Amino acid sequence: MTEERRPGPFGPGAAAGPEGPALQLRAAWVAAATAGELVSGDAAREFGGVSIDTRTLAVGELFIAIRGDRFDGAEFVPAALDAGAAGVVVPRGRSRRASGGGPNVRSAVASAERSRAPVVIEVDDTVRALQALARAVRRASGTKVVAITGSAGKTTTKEITAEFLAARYRVIRNRGNFNNHIGLPLSLIELRQRPEIAVVELGMNHAGEISTLIGVAEPDVRVWTNVGDAHLGFFASVDAIADAKAEVLEGADASTLLVANADDDRVMARVASFRGRTVTFGIDRDARVKASSIVDRGIDGIGARVTTARGGVDLATPLVGRGNLANVLAAAAVATEFDVPLDAIAARAATLRPAPHRGEVVRLAGGVTLLDDSYNASPAATTRALEVLAHLKAGRRIAVLGEMLELGEHAAARHRDVGRAAAEARVDVLLAVGGDAARALAEAAVAAGMPRARVRHFATSEEAAEAAVALVTGADLVLVKGSRGVKTDRVVERLKAARA
């Protein structure tokens, strides 16, 4: 391995990490950050954190009464105060009555000990106040922010990126898939602990959502993994999805870095408008961070020679398939820009493990291997999973594929595409789960050459789970994948229980 040891533009030689104590969320500062009015309580009152849920609220936290499609957080203000909230943020005019006929907020405040009376802040819009508070914390923290978006692999890329950066920095990442207009701000408020780097993901299923998240996170580094057909039911075309994802390019300046997938035509067609600097990663095309000499080790992972502007390194990861190799490359591109040594990247790549239900390899009793990718699914991601399955050694290849949701009028056609892909992947047994679209997937697999006796359709994951338990034998390799709403994770759990 060779490596030029010069500091990257985001590395220690270019900018020191945040120093000093954690940021304090004091009432006056929160009111100013949210353009709110402090109507009750001590302006110097400090909050131990921020919550939007009275069920998990900790004593001393600030409760922000957001309004959702099916609930009004202001109705839960009395419960928040009873749970020990140090303060509440409510819509203007709602501090007098938190809910129709409900307890009076000012009365609740007055009933407490005056010196420790909860704070009440009124704002125009509580969701926007949450976002404004997150942006204020992000700015005050001094933390560098890396934001990741894409149709597939963004959570895995987030986790890998955080692991690589943690070789040299204090890093936090957003929890699970806290990646929307509520979850991301809650994650960014944790920057009050002043980590050196935060790695977050940006999710969306409608145009304009990434733009909102970029405006809140103001990331120094943006990573665009790919464009696929997830949420196609909300868009006119995959190109329209690409345009919505391209909102990740907004609000950049010359100092902003974009890490982009050179192998994705839709990504590369849109990055020319980016105002900052671009670093590409790829497998099939020339890129700044590129994989070559790829060694596919099947269920045991994948290895490659990775070349960068700072040299090259041989690495191997237990993560399965080329899709995960691309995720590793994206993360490596970020890490090298932060001056993480290549040998540290390779060492961490060797220890990576997938997040739960996101490509986990589970070895069950009797020699059965389970490839658990049941967290979610789209046609493109499912096709890639089938391609991985096709290259893995097994006694039989069994695919349990749940219906892929949010495809709208494209559902039947896209499911038929996946059915044909299952046949091309030499799947021995196919269990399709869900409604009419899943039935179309099964019929397309038969039309493409799979024996009808080896293709079955089930309305629910519970039914499919029972069939899978009866079907699976030693040396079988079982792929389970489907949209969350179909609950194919129940197939996984049933197989684990049966072969514990």
Average pLDDT over residues 369-396: 93
Average pLDDT over residues 336-352: 98
Answer yes or no: are the C-beta atoms of 445 and 435 closer than 8 Å.
Answer: no
Answer yes or no: are the C-beta atoms of 43 and 26 closer than 8 Å.
Answer: yes
Fold: same for 142-349 and 360-498: no
Answer yes or no: are the C-beta atoms of 258 and 329 closer than 8 Å.
Answer: no
Q: What is the pLDDT of residue 17?
A: 57
pLDDT digits (tens, 9 = 90+) for 70-86: 889 899 999 999 999 99
Q: What is the pLDDT of residue 98?
A: 42
Q: In CATH terms, is domain 25-125 a member of 3.30.470.20?
A: no
Q: Is the pLDDT of residue 417 over 60?
A: yes
Least confident of 64-68, 98-102, 171-175, 229-233: 98-102
- Give 390 or 69, the one with higher predicted confidence: 390
User: And the tokens for 496?
Assistant: 């684990």
Question: Would you kindly state where each structural domain of the chain is located, as residue ranges?
Answer: 25-125, 142-349, 360-498
**pLDDT confidence band for 176 (50 / 70 / 90):** low
Q: What is the pLDDT of residue 112?
A: 44
Q: What is the pLDDT of residue 70?
A: 84
Percentage of residues in the chain with pLDDT exceeding 70? Answer: 92
Answer yes or no: are the C-beta atoms of 165 and 115 closer than 8 Å.
Answer: no
- What's the pTM? 0.89
- CATH architecture of the region 142-349: 3-Layer(aba) Sandwich (3.40)
Average pLDDT over residues 14-28: 78
Q: In CATH terms, is domain 360-498 a member of 3.40.50.2300?
A: no
Q: Is the pLDDT of residue 237 over 70?
A: yes
Percentage of residues in the chain with pLDDT exceeding 90? Answer: 84
Q: What is the pLDDT of residue 279?
A: 98
Q: What is the pLDDT of residue 175?
A: 76
Least confident of 132-136, 149-153, 328-332: 149-153
Answer yes or no: are the C-beta atoms of 63 and 54 closer than 8 Å.
Answer: yes
Q: What is the pLDDT of residue 247?
A: 97
Average pLDDT over residues 352-378: 94
Average pLDDT over residues 343-353: 97
Chain position carrying tokens 């493109």: 380
Answer yes or no: are the C-beta atoms of 322 and 313 closer than 8 Å.
Answer: no
pLDDT digits (tens, 9 = 90+) for 94-122: 876 443 334 445 444 434 433 478 999 99
The closest alpha carbon to 309, from 267, 275, 342, 265, belongs to 342
Q: What is the pLDDT of residue 5?
A: 37
